[in-house]
Copies of this chain bind each other. A is one copy, B any other.
């Protein structure tokens, strides 16, 4: 069965995301990989990995994952699924398989990441919650990492808005971490969605959190850092967001607060200083292009200035985000803010490889 092959591909120890994507590129779907035989596999990934792939017995793990996916609200999303978050496809390293719990439709909504320190101040947590609520009310789904401090406050604020929230976790989707956020996690599963790229049972390992941060950055049009110490994980997320062409926003604070120093560092490096949710929306040109996306997807939808511009840039052949950016003069973040609602409204489609195509 197809899904079992996806699981098998991702559950062999030592076969990481890069190898998985190399194999998918060479052979197509996972079933074709396992049908290709040892010589063909070895030709692509070398003898050791080929042997591991074919010999490793994942049957029990696959059964467990299938059983998990059969529970109400749980889903396995592969790169080939239409429900897979399209915003991740433009990145160089989308996870081949995502474990999701909750409202998976949120994964293709326009989103904004809000991240920050685990040891946030009370004011920082209040700010995170208020920004999340206001940006959620404006139609942006709020992405964060379910950590204590800023992350949790951002999820809480988003849960009171209409647009929902996405928690990207660095543990298995059956292990909601940290324990102190268990009630929040249950609330997110009910009213938002929790996703993980890590196999079930994966414990909290420091090495996995930077990979988790990459997903947070990739899912969102921009990344807002509320409070962060210098050299903290939030700054990594912000850097990943910038590298992926997303906008980075930072909230300033007192020069005497160590948790503002990371934000100040980002601002000096070019992040947008923001005082209000409106500052974020204006920078994303959200009023122009994105308000429609907050409402349920209509049959037709309005054809705003941004959409007309993108349709003109698209022409009749599938185009990458990069070439669209070049032709339209818009940033990748601005483009994504326009493309996602267009896709939801069925006016364009995203093809494998991150290419966009007009539908009518």
Residues of A within 8 A of B (CB): 123, 127, 251-256, 260-261, 264, 267-268, 272-276
Contacts and interface: CB of A to CB of B under 8 A. Distances in A.
14 contacts: A127-B255, A252-B252, A252-B253, A252-B254, A252-B260, A252-B267, A253-B255, A254-B254, A261-B275, A264-B273, A264-B275, A268-B272, A268-B273, A273-B273
A263 to B, nearest CB: 8
Contact of A254 (B253, B264, B273, B274): B253
Nearest to A127: B255
Nearest to A279: B268
Contact of A275 (B123, B127, B255, B275): B255
A253 B255 CA distance: 7
A241 to B, nearest CB: 19
Contacts of A251: 255
Contacts of A127: 255
Residue with the greatest number of chain B CB neighbours at <10 A, chosen from A254, A272, A274: A254
A252 B250 CA distance: 12
Contacts of A252: 252-255, 260, 264, 267, 273
Contacts of A274: 255
A273 B260 CA distance: 12
Contacts of A264: 252, 273, 275
A203 B268 CA distance: 42
A260 B254 CA distance: 9
Nearest to A268: B273
A253 to B, nearest CB: 6
A115 B252 CA distance: 20
Contacts of A267: 252, 267, 273
B254 A123 contact: yes
Nearest to A126: B256
A240 B79 CA distance: 56
A251 B256 CA distance: 11
A114 to B, nearest CB: 14
Nearest to A266: B273
